[in-house]
Structure formats: C-alpha cells, structure tokens
Amino acid sequence: MGRKDASTSRTPVDQYRKQIGKQDYKKTRPVLRATRLKAEAKKTALGIKEVALVLAAILVFLLAFYAFFYLNVSNEVDLDLDPDEN
C-alpha cells in the first residue's frame, strides 16, 4: 500500500509546472506573444559588459595609434637638432 501512495503523489516540481501551465492557459494569445517577444529581446540585447569591452578596445587602439605617432614625431625632432651647430 505504501508504494501505491508514493506513485500517485507528485513531486513539487511537477505540481509547480502544472500550476504554471494553468496560469498560462488563462492568458490570451496577444499576452503570450508579448511575453515571448520580451523574453527574446532580453536574450538578444547587448549587455553592458559587451559594450564596455568594445569601448575599451577602441580606446586602447586609439591610445596605441597616438603613442606610435607621438614617439615617431618626437624622434624626428631630436634628429633635426645638430649638437655641432653652436
């Protein structure tokens, strides 16, 4: 008799899923569609981390570009000065 009682009882997860199914069944199609579209938009939206990484990469590239030309120009200015001119 104990086995029969155990098989008929549902796990809490199954009860929870059944309850959610009943709630979703009461909703109309437009509401379900809007909920689905909102969830998909969250999945595909860019996160703050991705935007920050892209901005950091652009900043590093610009700083490297600036440093390269700054060092290149400063070396050319030093070569133009002759210590023997005086």
pLDDT digits over 26-77, tens only? 777 888 888 888 888 887 777 888 889 999 999 999 999 999 988 887 766 5
How far is it, in rounded angstroms, from Cα 33 to Cα 40?
11
Task: Give the pLDDT score at 73.
Answer: 78
1 pLDDT above the threshold of 50 = no
**pTM for this prediction:** 0.41
Task: Give the pLDDT score at 56.
Answer: 97
How far is it, in rounded angstroms, from Cα 5 to Cα 52?
56
Inter-residue contact 51 to 43 (CB < 8 Å): no
Confidence of residue 16 (pLDDT cuts 50, 70, 90): confident
How far is it, in rounded angstroms, from Cα 82 to Cα 86?
9
